[in-house]
Amino acid sequence: MEFNFLQSLPAIAPEIGLTVMAVVVLLLDVYLPESKRRNVGFVAGFGMLATAAAYFFLWAPTLETQGLYWGGNIRHDTLAEIFKIMVLIAGAITCFIGVDAKSLARRGEFFLIIIVSSLGATLMAGATDLIMVILALETTTIPLYVLAAFRRDDTRSAESGMKYFLFGSFASAILLYGISLLYGFTGHTNLYDIAAFLGTEAFSSNAVPVLISIALIITGFGFKISAVPFHFWTPDVYEGAPTPVTAFLSVASKAASFSLLVRFFLAVFPLGLVIDGLTISSFWIQTVAALAVISMTFGNLLALWQKNIKRLLAYSSIAQAGYILMGVAALSTESGTSVAAIGFYLFMYTFTNLLAFGVIVYFSEATGSENIRDLAGLSRRNPMLALAFTIALLSLAGIPPAAGFFGKFFLFQAAVEANLTWLAIIGVLNAIVALYYYLVVIKVMYVDHGDYEEMEIPVSRAGGAVLAVASLAVVLLGTILTTPFFEWAARGAEALFRIVQG
C-alpha cells in the first residue's frame, strides 16, 4: 500500500480540526480578558459545528475514497462519518449548554477537555487497529474522568470522578487483556489481518482462546456502554458529575463505543467464521442478546424507584443501551437493517439525551434541586422548558412524533428480521415499563403542585436557542427527516459490510 499523504488527510479531517481547536481554545482561555471569557464556549461550539460541516460537505467518504488509511489504522467510510458527526454535534451542544452553567464556573478548561474527549471519540469511530482502538478509547475516557471530578470542592463530583476513574480503568484493563490475548494468538494488530488469520487453517484447532478474548472484550465494552451487569458506576457518576458533563458522557462516549463494538465484532469475528466446528458469531450474538435482555429489564425496573432526575436518566440510559444491544444481537443477518437501526438510534439519542440533560442544567441551576418532585408545576413556571423536556422524555419512551418512536421501531424490525421475535417482545414490554416512569415525570411537570411554584426558571438566550434547536431536531427526525437519516445510516451499514480492499 503506497502512502499518499494528501489523500490520507480526509480520513482524519475531524481529528485535525479538533486538534487545532484545542490549541485555539487553550490560547483564548489564557489571553482573553475575564469579561470576554464566556465567548470561549461559543468558539468551541461553533468550531465543532464548523468542523462537522466541513467534514460532511468537503471530505466525506465516497465510494472511491472509502478504505483503510494511515497504515491500516483508520477506516474512512460512511459509518465512521455518521458517528464522527454525531460526536461533533454532541460536543457542540454540550459546549453551548455549558456556556452559562454556573456549575462549571465558566472555566475554559471545560471546553478544552470536551474537545480532546471528542477527538478520542471520533478516532474510535474509525479505528481498525488494536493499538488505535486502545489509544482512541483512552483519549476519550481519561478527559471524562477529569470532567466528572470537575467541581473539586463538591464531594459528590469528586466521588463521581473517582468512581468513574476506578471502574473505567478496570474496564480498560479487562478490554486490554482481551485484546492482548487476541494479539498473542494471532500476531496481528490490524482487525482485518486478525480476521484473516483466524479464518485460516493455522487457527482452526481450538476455539477456547477466541471465546475467552470475546468474553473479555464484551466485558470491557459492557462497562463503557453501561450494560447490566457492568453498570454499577453509571448512576453515581451521572448524579455526581456536573450536568453538562453527564450529558456529554451519556451520549458521545456511548455512541463511539457502540460504533467500535459493531465494527470490531463484524471485522474480527465475522458471521461466517467457524473455528473448531463452532460458529463464533453465534457465541457473541447470544451473549449480546442476553446482555440486552438484562440491561433493558434491570435498567427499567430500577429506574422506577428513582427520586433524582439524573439518576432516573442514568437508569434509563442503561435500559437504552439494552435496546441498542438488541440491534447488535440482530447483526446475525447480513441485511443492513440492524446497523442502520443502531446508527439511527444513536443519532436521535444524541439529540434526545442532550435535550433532556440540557433542561436539567437550567432547572437545577435555577432551583438548586435535582429531585423529580421539585419539577412540579414546571409547565406553569416555564411552559417552553416543560415542553422541551416532554419532547425529550417522549423520545426516550418511543412515542411519536418524537424520533424515539422510529428509533425503537427500527430496532424491533431488525430483531424480528433476525428471527429474534422473542427479543423484540421483551423489548416492547420493557418500553411499556419505561413509559411509566417517563410519564410520571411528565405528570409531575404538568399536574402536580409543589413548594417552589412561584420560582422563576430563567433560561439564557443561547440556552433557549440550543434547546429549541434540539427539540426541533428530535421532532423532525421523528417525522420528515427520518428517511434521509435512515438512508444515510443504511449507507453506513453497507460500507461496513463491504469487503475491505487493501
Partner 1 sequence: MEAIGFPVISLIIFIPIVAAVIILFIPREQGDLIKGIAITAAASVFALSLFVYLNYNARVDDISANQAALLSEAGRDSELLQLNLAVSSQSASVLAGQSMTGTQMFHDGLAFQERVEWLPALGISYHVGVDGLNAPMVLLTGMVAVAGVLVSWRITDRTREFMAFFLLLVAGVYGVFVAIDMFLLFFFYELAIFPMYLLIATWGWAQLREYAAMKLTLYILIGSVVALVGVIAMVLVAQNYFLNEGAAVFATAKDAGILPQSASELSFSMTQITLAAENGAFNVAGYAGVESLTFAKLWFPFIFIGFGVLAGVFPFHNWSPDGHVAAPTAVSMIHAGVLMKLGAYAALRSGVQLLPQGAEVHLPWIVFLTLVNVVYGAFIAFRQRDFKYVIGFSSVSHMGLVSMGFATMNLTGMTGAGLQMFSHGAMTALFFGCVGMVYDRAHTRDIPSLGGFIKIMPWVGFAFIVGGLTSMGMPGLSGFISEFPIFQGMWRASESVSLSLGPFNLSNYYSIMVIIAALGIIITAAYVLRVTSQVFFGDFDRQKYPDVDDITVRERFVLIFLGTPLVLLGTLPFIMAPMLETGLRPVLALLGGA
CB atoms closer than 10 angstroms to residue 270: 16
Q: Least distance in Å: CB of 467 to partner 1?
A: 15
Q: Are strands 67-69 and 74-76 parallel, antiparallel or unpaired?
A: antiparallel
In the complex with partner 1, the residue whose CB is nearer, 174 or 340, is 340
Among 102, 307, 443, 498, binds partner 1 (CB under 8 A): 443
For position 388 contacting partner 1 by CB under 8 A, the verdict is no
Nearest by Cα to 228 from 320, 141, 159: 320
Place of cell 450529558: 247
- Asked whether the bond before 143 is cis by omega within 30 degrees of 0, the reply is no
For position 282 contacting partner 1 by CB under 8 A, the verdict is no
Q: Least distance in Å: CB of 36 to partner 1?
A: 35
For position 400 contacting partner 1 by CB under 8 A, the verdict is yes
For position 306 contacting partner 1 by CB under 8 A, the verdict is no
What is the four-CA torsion angle of 341, 478, 349, 314, rounded to 10 degrees?
Answer: -120
In the complex with partner 1, the residue whose CB is nearer, 210 or 402, is 402
CB atoms closer than 10 angstroms to residue 207: 20
Question: What number of CA atoms fall less than 13 Å from residue 39's CA on the CB side?
Answer: 10
120-151: b or e for each residue (b if 16 or more CB lie within 10 Å)? bbbbbbbbbbbebbbbbbebbbbbbbbbbbbb
Q: Least distance in Å: CB of 434 to partner 1?
A: 11
Q: Least distance in Å: CB of 41 to partner 1?
A: 29
Among 102, 307, 380, 498, binds partner 1 (CB under 8 A): 380
In 225-336, which ranges are continuous DSSP H helix? 233-240, 243-268, 280-303, 309-329
- Asked whether the bond before 401 is cis by omega within 30 degrees of 0, the reply is yes
Among 166, 432, 451, 453, binds partner 1 (CB under 8 A): 432
Among 23, 208, 307, 436, binds partner 1 (CB under 8 A): 436
Which residues touch 485 (CB under 8 Å, ≥6 apart)? Answer: 344, 347, 348, 477
Candidates 83-91, 284-292, 299-307, 442-450: pick the segment binding partner 1 (CB under 8 A): 442-450
Binding mask 309-348 for partner 1 (x = CB under 8 A): ----------------------------x--x--------
CA separation for the pair 458, 465 (Å, rounded): 13
For position 271 contacting partner 1 by CB under 8 A, the verdict is no
In the complex with partner 1, the residue whose CB is nearer, 55 or 486, is 486
Q: Which conformational region is residue 201 in: left (phi greater than 0), alpha (psi within -120 to 50 degrees), or beta? A: alpha
328 contacts 342 by C-beta, under 8 angstroms: yes
For position 27 contacting partner 1 by CB under 8 A, the verdict is no
41 contacts 98 by C-beta, under 8 angstroms: yes
For position 465 contacting partner 1 by CB under 8 A, the verdict is no
For position 425 contacting partner 1 by CB under 8 A, the verdict is yes
Q: Least distance in Å: CB of 131 to partner 1?
A: 36
Among 59, 69, 405, 488, binds partner 1 (CB under 8 A): 405
For position 387 contacting partner 1 by CB under 8 A, the verdict is yes
Segment (H or E) for 338: helix 337-367
Among 80, 359, 431, 467, binds partner 1 (CB under 8 A): 431
Question: Interface residues for partner 1 in 206-265 (CB under 8 A)?
Answer: none
Among 439, 468, 472, 476, binds partner 1 (CB under 8 A): 439
Q: Least distance in Å: CB of 388 to partner 1?
A: 12
85 contacts 52 by C-beta, under 8 angstroms: yes
Among 446, 455, 457, 468, binds partner 1 (CB under 8 A): 446
Binding site for partner 1 (CB under 8 A): 337, 340, 379-380, 383, 387, 394, 398-401, 405, 409-410, 412-413, 416-417, 421, 424-425, 428-429, 431-432, 435-436, 439-440, 442-443, 446-447, 482-483, 486-487, 490
